[in-house]
Amino acid sequence: MKNKIFIALVLSAFCFEGALGQMDLNSSNYFINPFVLNPAYAGKFKQQSILLDVRKDASGIDGSPTSQYLTYDWGVVPEKIGIGLMFKNDVEGLMRHHVGYAAFSYRAQIAEEHYFDLGVNAGLVYRGINFDNIRAKDAQESVLLSENNYSSTFDGGAGFRYVWKDLEVGFAMNHITEPNFSYTNTIDQTNLQSSLLRQYIGTIGYNYEINQDFAVKPLVVLRSSHGAPIKFEGGAAGWWKDQVWLGILYKQDLGINATVGLELSEKMSFAYSYHYYTGSLSNVTTGAHEIILGLRLGKKKDPKADARFEELTNQNAELFEQLEILKQQNEANKKEIDDLKQGYSEAQKDSMKAVIDGLQELHDHYDDHVEKITSEKDDHSIHVDSVHHSSEDLDAKYRVIIGSFNEMGHATSMQKILQREYSQGSELMKNEKSGRFLIYSKECEHREDCRGELVRVKKLNSKGVIKGEPWLLKVE
């Protein structure tokens, strides 16, 4: 008689677990904590994150499931390696589950903006039948009902996540080995076996930023167990300034889940979910309730700030490159001035200074007269310099000069800057008389053909890269 009672109680426990097991005992807040679905998400948020999740399913039904999750994950090497821990406690009627997993994730970059995350977890599952919750009417069975049965085994899972820009596609497989549990009947020492069925979870989501304040993420989840039909879940969550979020989720055959959450501080967050059951369960339960408390350790990383920092770093490198060219030009000019100074005595310095001041004044007024001079007849055209070239250059009578340098290396560096900053192509020539290297943008048969180009390059210098005023050079 006792043996029959034992078997009947165990079978009823499994049946009760199976009936309620059709519901999703995992957290419905995987918008917030996707790590509970897939170990590949371990360390996804880079910060150290601790989340406590308490859920009561089917309120109003005696013995309905109660679940508690505690998760920890951290991006040990940002964008590369993540680790995580998950502890779970479930009470479902006569059944108790105590689970502890450790997880590891690794990211590989397939191509630019294409990433592949692989995650695995392993741990110990402790499962038992708690007869303490049963009150026996027959006092002779009190011994049987005081003997709780427990069994434990190792378990593991794996998953991957593919990321392309804002698109995420994931797949996870839990209870890969379908671990077995054995319960012993102390009356006749017979065993009763049960196992955890292999579970498959597929996800697809998209992170869409509407503007700087609002973002939304639609998500689809497909679930199945070994030999069971596929179940659909779908919904979306929206965030406002990363401070407040709302979520809605539909679960096939189970109902609708709504979530509201907010950031209590820079380190803490809070969320509440309510699940409304559809179908027959709606007549016997008031719904499910879930609360999540979050704690973040370390400094929060802002992807937008990181991108802006990288942009500023690149701009800074470009500025340093331009500064180096200017420094080289300044050194060359300084050397030229020193050479000139050494050729004059102290008595000649005053007169030389007067000459230099006069030249500077002439240079200051030069631009005012360029347009006037270029409008005169050909025999009064601009002759800033005359250069003799080989026969291959005889076809070019005028050239628009936009840079002059003592060293060829400085001139070629300026050509690269002009191309990068203004998309301005240019050619290089050497003035045989002065020995300077000249950069020109266009060569023309006639002076009038170059006037438009001269006006254009003068207006081109919006970033101050070109030093001095461009001029026309007549080539003889």
CATH superfamily of the 376-476 domain: Sporulation related repeat (3.30.70.1070)
Tokens of 286: 């008031």
Distances 436 to 338, 403, 407 between C-alpha atoms, Å: 18, 10, 7
Sequence-distant (≥ 6) Cβ neighbours of residue 372 within 8 angstroms: none
Percent of the chain predicted with pLDDT > 70: 75
Domain ranges of the chain: 2-301, 376-476
Residues in the chain predicted with pLDDT less than 70, given as ranges, are 1-26, 46, 131-148, 183-191, 299-309, 341, 343-396
Can you tell me which residue has the tokens 């929060």?
300
117 burial (CB, 10 Å; 0-12 / 13-18 / 19+) is buried
| b/e 402-416 (16+ beta carbons within 10 angstroms → b) | bbbbbeeebbebbbe
CA angle (418, 422, 426) in 5-degree steps: 45
Give me the residue label for tokens 């020995």.
435
Rg of the chain over Cα atoms, rounded to whole angstroms, equals 39
Of all residues in the chain, what percent are helix, strand and coil, respectively (each to 5)? 30, 40, 30
Task: State how far the Cα of 474 lies from the Cα of 72, in Å rounded to an integer.
Answer: 75
**pLDDT the model gives residue 5:** 43
Tell me the fold of 2-301.
Answer: Porin (2.40.160)
User: Tokens representing 242?
Assistant: 């990363």
Backbone angles phi, psi at 138, to 5 degrees: -95, 115
Of 180, 189, 186, 242, nearest to 216 by C-alpha is 242
Please give the backbone phi and psi of residue 457, each rounded to the nearest 5 degrees, phi first: -70, -25
Q: Are strands 66-77 and 48-56 parallel, antiparallel or unpaired?
A: antiparallel
- In this prediction, residue 340 carries a pLDDT of 73
Extract the tokens encoding 291: 């609360």
Pairing between β-strand 191-195 and β-strand 180-184 as defined by DSSP bridges = antiparallel
Judge contact between 384 and 373, C-beta under 8 A. no
- What pLDDT shows up at residue 311? 76
What's the confidence (pLDDT) of residue 307? 64
Q: Which residue has the tokens 């991108």?
A: 307
